[in-house]
Structure 1
Amino acid sequence: MSGELAPGETLVESEIGAQLGVSKTPVREALRLLAGSGLVTMSTYKGASVRVIDAEVAYAVYDLRAMLEPEAVRRAVENGADFSEARHVLGEVASGTGAADRAHASQTNRLFHRALYAECGNPLMVEILDGLRDQAALITVTGWGISPTWKGEAAEHLAILNAAEQGNAKQAEHLLRKHITDFIDRVAFELPGERAGDDKGVR
């Protein structure tokens, strides 16, 4: 998430184990878990490597987010959800200027978004959105490296949260969907692969 390991960089179990002071066995298991969350790519011939985010992957993840997350937040608002946790983390969202700060901003961004949809009333919807969070976070950090817009996004977060706290479910849904699609439209054309002008169905 910090960019210390570059996209496509090979992850050698023995080297990582030496750096962390552990054997290769827990490293191998950790790499499998990271592969399952979409952060690491496993190859029979090349082994493990850092996931390369291209436009196709980014559009696929954000397409699903744009369909599910705004709906989940609409339901949470209509259910009278408590958004105090979202308000608590809002002050830390999208702060910082360096690569390490992007990683921190990404973590607080994850916490904020989850706090919005957690009480949607559908555990399966929450589980699916939780399953997207690692890949979405990697796309976010990659996108911020292209277009450092986290401070502007903090204002968008505030508007979404205000609408949710005021019980305006439709407005919160609309603002969140726009927040998600605007981000991918800003950064995807800079990623390798398909360009943002291609019809990927995010909207």
Structure 2
Amino acid sequence: MIADALRDAICSGEIPPGAPLKQDEIAAEFGVSHTPVREALKALVSEGLAVLHHNRGCFVSDLSSAVARELMDFRAVLEPKLAGWAIDRLTEANIEHGRQLMMKIDKTSNPLQRLRLAAEFHTVIYTRANRPFFLEQVNRARNNLNRYWLLAWSDQTFPVSTQNEHQKILDLCVARDRAGLTAFIEQHIMTSGE
């Protein structure tokens, strides 16, 4: 619970890069001892959202173009695999859910909500791969990347090209075009990241 709350605050920008994550303050805020706070901070460090400096404490990790590139590359390797494993298991209900999420993206002007809906769009497809470990790693990378996307998209609408690409992803899923889908998702991730 503590890790989830801190993760959301970091990924939304509520806790900015470089900010200290003080155990005493976090423990007091949640009404817990230091032990669960230390465990939560370890989880955030393992996800790349925080860094531990010896004798100085834990801090929200800074933003870096090199890290953003690596996260994007990571997603571009794993997500096409997930989509390929999922394609034969997708149902019409999954496709319709994807369409509904696209409509919600179009209706919201909140950048964080758009990012969450876009993540849910991809998760609707990837969940059908039945590879929870892969999906968890992709979601961690996406959460970390949200900090970068919020900077890029906070003052503008969700790129029309991204929504067009989401539609193409659904079309490829409906056509059961595994090769086309996996290649296109890799391209979609890299284009979005650029």
Query: Which residue matches 1:150?
Result: 158
1:60 matched to 2:70: yes
Query: Which residue matches 1:139?
Result: 145
The alpha carbon displacement at 1:9 in A equals: 0.8
The verdict on how the C-alpha distance between 1:92 and 1:130 changes in structure 2, with shifts beyond 3 A counting, is farther
Query: Which residue matches 1:14?
Result: 24
What TM-score results when the alignment is normalised by the length of structure 2?
0.76
The alpha carbon displacement at 1:95 in A equals: 6.0
The alpha carbon displacement at 1:182 in A equals: 0.7
Structure 2 unaligned runs (5+)? Answer: 1-10
- What number of residue pairs does the alignment pair up? 178
The verdict on how the C-alpha distance between 1:91 and 1:35 changes in structure 2, with shifts beyond 3 A counting, is farther
Query: Which residue matches 1:184?
Result: 193
Q: Report the identity percentage.
A: 25
- One-letter code of the match for 2:158? W
| C-alpha contact 1:65 1:129 (8 A) present in aligned 2 | no
What's the C-alpha RMSD, in Å, of the aligned pairs?
A: 2.5
Summarize deviations over 1:60-110 as a string: whole Å, max 9, x none: 121122122123213322x2422344345333347644xxx3333333322
Q: Distance in 1 between matches of 2:107 and 2:64?
A: 25
* 1:48-197 correspondence to structure 2 within 5 Å: 48-77=58-87, 79-82=88-91, 83-84=94-95, 85-93=97-105, 96-97=108-109, 101-120=110-129, 123=131, 126-147=132-153, 148=156, 150-152=158-160, 153-185=162-194
The alpha carbon displacement at 1:129 in A equals: 4.0
Match of 2:104, SS state, is coil
Q: Distance in 1 between matches of 2:100 and 2:90?
A: 15
- One-letter code of the match for 1:135? A
Match of 1:49, SS state, is strand
| C-alpha contact 1:94 1:151 (8 A) present in aligned 2 | no
Q: Distance in 2 between matches of 1:14 and 1:104?
A: 31
Q: Distance in 1 between matches of 2:106 and 2:145?
A: 14
Q: Distance in 2 between matches of 1:39 and 1:23?
A: 22
Query: Which residue matches 2:6?
Result: none
Query: Which residue matches 1:31?
Result: 41
The alpha carbon displacement at 1:180 in A equals: 0.4
Q: Distance in 2 between matches of 1:115 and 1:17?
A: 35
What TM-score results when the alignment is normalised by the length of structure 1?
0.73
Q: Distance in 2 between matches of 1:94 and 1:41?
A: 36
The verdict on how the C-alpha distance between 1:175 and 1:129 changes in structure 2, with shifts beyond 3 A counting, is same
Structure 1 unaligned runs (5+)? Answer: 186-203
The verdict on how the C-alpha distance between 1:37 and 1:142 changes in structure 2, with shifts beyond 3 A counting, is same
Query: Which residue matches 1:199?
Result: none
